[in-house]
Structure 1
Amino acid sequence: MTSTTSLRRTGAALVTAAALAVLPVAGPHGPASAAAVAPAAAERHAAQWQGGWAASPQAPTAPFAPNWSPRGFDNHTVRQVVRVTTGGTKARIELSNRYGSTPLRVTGATVARTAGGAAVKPGTVRQLSFGKGRSVTIPAGGRATSDGVPFKVRALESLTVTLYLAGPTGPATFHHFSAATSYRADGDHRSDHGGAAFDESNDSWYYLTGVEVTGGKPAGRRDGVVTFGDSITDGVGSSPNTNNRYPDELAERFAAAGKPRGVLNHGIGGNQVTNDTTWAGEKGIARFKEDVLSEPGVGTVVVLEGINDIGGSGPTFPGGPTPEVSAERLIDGHRSLIRQAHAKGIKVVGATLTPIKGSFYDDEAGVNEAKRRAVNDWIRTSGEYDAVADFDRAVSGPDGGLRPAYDSGDKLHPSDAGYRAMADALDLDSL
């Protein structure tokens, strides 16, 4: 959900102790066998582990500005800063090679407390292991979870995850729009405290798809929240390195109430519910299983997606138009997401689609706006979602467009204040 111009602008401004779990997954390399997946999946869902941070993996692409995914890495150290939303006494990371064409060799990895930029706080660097070894090879299409390491983590604390990739990786599985800066250095700098060696930066995340914690909550608690959607969930338009996406603001509301909960952001900029795209990921109804239903400790998912299905058939959609989607087909896609969530005992909250007036999706004939209103009416009145978050009303002005104070500049993506208004519109009890 974003024009080439707005995304270029945004991209320039942005970027227990378990045994080794290396999982082949369904994806571009075909489905894994149930026998191969089941043992690791069962461990991943052990009651004590909770998602603290997440990002959906994407295939290598660079449609708007250069990034490191098409070429990958070779004798590079990559540092990535994330903010966890719930705390614990142990931590572990998840790495994904979902879209790799060859096995990925990770020579070593560390986690530390962030000091600012690429620097970490002295004395906090912890070496991570995988099945008690310092390195791991992840098969093409697979993922790996590190062993848990004693590491006390507070809710809303920023952590720095560092990966050393000694050999050539080939094109890299990544997450395009991070609204956070990642750093790269030549050679092995995984244990550096300072950031001087990290003389390159980029606004995407690479291979890192999750940080999980344990020890902070009673076993069996399923109170994690996944936010699922497109660029408005992903945080496009928010200020870089400030954690002002709407899911971040929601996590802050939980923490302020004295009840921190894991809030996991599985938005992908440009993503659609019903169509695959060349640069914005698999369609939502397909990726929902891997991105949402595989997360441990999740009890609720908030769905905000569909505006790219509506606007993607027009000439402004990056990468070329996608097949036209009717309101009825889009609603059927939402029903698929609801069925998938309910089959796993997960509550699902439907969020109304936010305004498009004056944006590159606002066509002269008003066809897109009519579809948006039809879908929103269904979300509000059908009763098929377990609850409704009316983001449309939260950020709309009297003219039906985004309120000026809530507009990041393209009349489609909210500003920091707009994302805050969206988070405030969520009824915490409904989650």
Structure 2
Amino acid sequence: MSSPQSSPPVLTHATPAPAAEAVFPASGPAVWHGAWTTPVMRPSAAPWFETWAEQGFTDQSLRQVVRLHCGGSQVRIRLSNAYGRTPLHLTGATIGRTAACAAVHPDTMRTLRFAGSPSTTILAKGHAVSDPVTLPTEPLEHLTISLYFKEPTGPATYHQMSLTTTYRAAGDHHRDPSATAYTDTVQPAYGSWYYLEGVETSGKHRLPRAVVTFGDSLTDGYGATIDGDDRYPDVLAERFLAAGRPRPVLNAGIGSNKLLTDSALGGDAGIARFTRDVLDQPHIGTVIVLMGVNDIQQTDDPVPGTGHEATPVTAQQLIDGHRRLIRAAHARQVRAVGATLTPYRGAAGWSAAGEVIRARVNQWMRTSGEYDTVVDFACALDPDGTGSIREDLHIGDNIHPNPAGYRAMADAIDLAALGQ
């Protein structure tokens, strides 16, 4: 079980910031908005694609690209060592506008500092927030964050599937704007994010409260285009911008995640990580919950630390789990939006008994009135009511949408129903 995100001690070396880069006090009056986020996970051997999480990093630089869903005049990042067993020593970090691939526009590169120091140590299970730097940004703009680790990190806290290419270089290249040294990427290129859990922006104007999308691989975006930014939360952010009211949309999905049970592949259970990954996001107003299909169909997934597989779930258990999320959201004055469980007939894990559970959970969601409103993703992907995702809306496995399917999901959301 994960704990709510806190602000543990961060050890730093006192090095003054140069005058060339304006640094603002973190305790100032600025309102910070989450511009991008990803839920972190414990390092593990991924059974379906390679990552760098278990081996960690030694005398290596990481370059990670993210797309912001809101802009501002200042920016800062959040780093996590939540699953680290030892302190994490970060030698240096920079941020700048993305050029092409691993390259950064040189005139936008800023050194990131932590309590005034260009290096920091993040305690085991701890987090760190960088000092703000001046870097004007716009919604849907890409930023590149470079991290250099001189000392061995050990296994890395990470997000398993980024669908965005992450680059690695031998030695210290965190200040190097060119892509020349960043020749190493994970293949196949599903990609992962390491230690990075958030980017925040601040400016003169207060934005509407963020929408956090909470779920499994359908929220995380499996089946979307690598480096294409066409997951359903990405498209939802584009819809807000096109409507003339840009609003942060933060993706808190984890592939293979379950609502009720921790998973060796899919991370902490949804009910365990909800506070950290949703409610503790800055300036949040609404959460969209799409969760439960993996609880139904992945009964052979080992539960970490127990030595046994997950037990079959009932519809009532899933409903009770959703009720826990609703209560937690309402206790923080957060609008809770339920998303109907999408069809998966034809997928490897489908069963008639599981279909009965899915139907009962969806009926409760649509009729109980317990969620503040409901988004019918099941209907968006199966508009004819066949019990299967329409053929042109999935990637061929009958469970994961393709980019057209993700757009159909985003288009099914009434923006007004998400509140302000």
Whether TM exceeds 0.5 here: the answer is yes
Instruction: Decide whether the 8 Å contact of 1:94 with 1:211 is kept in 2.
Output: yes
Instruction: Decide whether the 8 Å contact of 1:395 with 1:421 is kept in 2.
Output: yes
Deviates more, 1:157-166 or 1:312-321: 312-321
Instruction: Decide whether the 8 Å contact of 2:220 with 2:253 is kept in 1.
Output: yes
> For residue 167 of structure 2, what is the aligned residue in structure 1?
183
> For residue 91 of structure 1, what is the aligned residue in structure 2?
75
Runs of 5+ consecutive residues of structure 1 not aligned to the other structure? 1-25, 38-42
Change (3 A) 1:314 1:66: closer
> For residue 270 of structure 1, what is the aligned residue in structure 2?
256
Secondary structure in structure 1 of the residue aligned to 2:99:
strand
Alpha-carbon deviation of 1:44? 8.7
Change (3 A) 1:246 1:340: same
User: What is the letter of the counterpart of residue 423 of structure 1?
Assistant: A
Alpha-carbon deviation of 1:316? 11
Instruction: Decide whether the 8 Å contact of 2:80 with 2:127 is kept in 1.
Output: yes
> For residue 285 of structure 1, what is the aligned residue in structure 2?
271
> For residue 321 of structure 2, what is the aligned residue in structure 1?
333
2:390 is the counterpart of 1:407:
no
Q: CA separation in 2, counterparts of 1:332 and 1:235?
A: 26
Deviation digits for residues 124-146 of structure 1, max 9, x if unmatched? 11000000100111010011000
Mapping for residues 39-78 of structure 1, pairs under 5 Å: 48-61=31-44, 62-78=46-62
- TM-score, with structure 2 as normaliser: 0.90
Alpha-carbon deviation of 1:217? 2.6
2:374 is the counterpart of 1:388:
yes
Deviation digits for residues 42-85 of structure 1, max 9, x if unmatched? x7997600000000000001222221000100001000000000
User: What is the letter of the counterpart of residue 159 of structure 1?
Assistant: L
> For residue 343 of structure 2, what is the aligned residue in structure 1?
355
Secondary structure in structure 1 of the residue aligned to 2:330:
helix
2:156 is the counterpart of 1:172:
yes
Aligned with 1:322 (options 296, 303, 310): 310
Instruction: Decide whether the 8 Å contact of 1:312 with 1:321 is kept in 2.
Output: no
Instruction: Decide whether the 8 Å contact of 1:111 with 1:128 is kept in 2.
Output: yes
Aligned with 1:112 (options 63, 71, 96): 96
Instruction: Decide whether the 8 Å contact of 1:84 with 1:157 is kept in 2.
Output: yes
User: What is the letter of the counterpart of residue 371 of structure 1?
Assistant: I
Change (3 A) 1:36 1:134: closer
Aligned with 1:301 (options 287, 296, 315): 287
**Number of aligned pairs?**
394
2:247 is the counterpart of 1:255:
no
Aligned with 2:403 (options 407, 416, 420): 416
> For residue 11 of structure 1, what is the aligned residue in structure 2?
none
Change (3 A) 1:143 1:429: same
Change (3 A) 1:227 1:47: farther
Secondary structure in structure 2 of the residue aligned to 1:101:
coil
Instruction: Decide whether the 8 Å contact of 1:316 with 1:361 is kept in 2.
Output: no
Q: CA separation in 2, counterparts of 1:424 and 1:331?
A: 26
- TM-score, with structure 1 as normaliser: 0.88
RMSD value, Cα: 2.2
Instruction: Decide whether the 8 Å contact of 2:263 with 2:301 is kept in 1.
Output: no
Change (3 A) 1:369 1:256: same
Alpha-carbon deviation of 1:315? 7.7
Change (3 A) 1:335 1:175: same
Secondary structure in structure 1 of the residue aligned to 2:279:
coil
> For residue 429 of structure 1, what is the aligned residue in structure 2?
416
Q: CA separation in 2, counterparts of 1:320 and 1:238?
A: 32
Alpha-carbon deviation of 1:408? 1.2
Change (3 A) 1:345 1:83: same
Instruction: Decide whether the 8 Å contact of 1:96 with 1:173 is kept in 2.
Output: yes
Q: CA separation in 2, counterparts of 1:321 and 1:390?
A: 31
Instruction: Decide whether the 8 Å contact of 1:316 with 1:360 is kept in 2.
Output: no
Mapping for residues 364-379 of structure 1, pairs under 5 Å: 366-379=352-365
Q: CA separation in 2, counterparts of 1:137 and 1:322?
A: 37
User: What is the letter of the counterpart of residue 385 of structure 1?
Assistant: Y
Deviation digits for residues 187-219 of structure 1, max 9, x if unmatched? 01011121110111131000000000000532x
Secondary structure in structure 1 of the residue aligned to 2:51:
coil
Secondary structure in structure 2 of the residue aligned to 1:209:
strand
User: What is the letter of the counterpart of residue 410 of structure 1?
Assistant: D
Instruction: Decide whether the 8 Å contact of 1:47 with 1:296 is kept in 2.
Output: no
Q: CA separation in 2, counterparts of 1:396 and 1:298?
A: 30
Aligned with 2:334 (options 327, 343, 346): 346
Instruction: Decide whether the 8 Å contact of 1:45 with 1:297 is kept in 2.
Output: no
User: What is the letter of the counterpart of residue 113 of structure 1?
Assistant: R
Change (3 A) 1:242 1:251: same
Q: CA separation in 1, counterparts of 2:359 and 2:132?
A: 47
What fraction of aligned residue pairs are identical, expressed as a percent? 49
Q: CA separation in 2, counterparts of 1:120 and 1:49?
A: 24
Instruction: Decide whether the 8 Å contact of 1:275 with 1:323 is kept in 2.
Output: no
Mapping for residues 2-41 of structure 1, pairs under 5 Å: 27=2
Instruction: Decide whether the 8 Å contact of 1:107 with 1:164 is kept in 2.
Output: yes
User: What is the letter of the counterpart of residue 342 of structure 1?
Assistant: H
Alpha-carbon deviation of 1:321? 4.1
Q: CA separation in 2, counterparts of 1:230 and 1:166?
A: 34
Runs of 5+ consecutive residues of structure 2 not aligned to the other structure? 10-25
2:146 is the counterpart of 1:162:
yes
Aligned with 1:137 (options 121, 124, 145): 121
Instruction: Decide whether the 8 Å contact of 1:46 with 1:296 is kept in 2.
Output: no
Instruction: Decide whether the 8 Å contact of 1:112 with 1:121 is kept in 2.
Output: yes
Change (3 A) 1:420 1:317: farther
